[in-house]
Each structure stands twice: as C-alpha cells, then as structure tokens.
Amino acid sequence: MPSTAFPLPHVNEAWIDPETGMPTQVFYQFMAATFPTGVDVLGSILQLSPKLFRQLPAHPLEGMIGSVTDSTTNTWGAQIAGGGHFHVLAYYDGKMWTVAGK
C-alpha cells in the first residue's frame, strides 16, 4: 500500500503527460511507494534487481516475476532451481518458478 507521503493519484491527476506521452511525477511517486526496493522504473523501462534463486519470496504469489542469477536452466518454461550459472527472468505460475526469458 502506498505511503501517505505518496498517495494514489486522484481521478483528475494524470498518470501520463498527454503532451509528451511520458509518465508523470505522480506515477513515479506511486511506483517508489509501491516498490520501495528491488524495482526501478525509468520512462517505460522496468529494471529488476538480480537475485539468487534462494532470495526469491518464500511464499510467492501467482504472476510474480524476478531476475535470477543462478538458475540451473535457461530453457523457456522449465522449472528453475538455484545453484547454476544462468541468468534468467523468472515467472511464478502458481506452482513453481519457471524460465520466462533469458
């Protein structure tokens, strides 16, 4: 939940500047409050902080993604385990972490 220092924008506050098409300060404040660590958003680029597999959430929720630096596989859709040398984008499908990108 965003902090009171960075509340959600009101209906009349724009997320996107109509003149530039870029996110507004309200968007950046919301992202900073919602994702205080591990995620950086600049313009339309999302940057995840790379982590070891064991550092992923112990109780993930379906749809979570993460950047894993020690996967044992880089085959799309394969189940991820730690201890390897592949850097992959991980997706939690509700049952296991799988490779979503390499």
Tell me, yes or no, whether 29 and 61 share the same domain.
no
Confidence at 96, pLDDT banded by 50, 70, 90: very high
Tell me, yes or no, whether 40 and 56 share the same domain.
no
Tell me, yes or no, whether 54 and 69 share the same domain.
yes
Domain-ending residue, one of 48, 67, 85: 48
Return d(Cα 33, Cα 3) in angstroms, integer: 6
Tell me, yes or no, whether 36 and 61 share the same domain.
no
The pLDDT of residue 95 is above 80: yes
Return d(Cα 10, Cα 27) in angstroms, integer: 12
Q: Tens of pLDDT along 18-34?
A: 677 666 666 666 666 66
**Residues in CB range of 50: below 8 A, 6 or more apart:** 67, 68, 69, 87
Domain region containing 27: 1-48
**Residues in CB range of 52: below 8 A, 6 or more apart:** 68, 69, 70, 82
Q: Tens of pLDDT along 54-94?
A: 999 989 998 889 999 999 999 999 999 999 999 999 999 99
Tell me, yes or no, whether 26 and 68 share the same domain.
no
Tell me, yes or no, whether 43 and 10 share the same domain.
yes
Structure token pair of residue 41: 């958003």
pTM of full prediction above 0.85: no
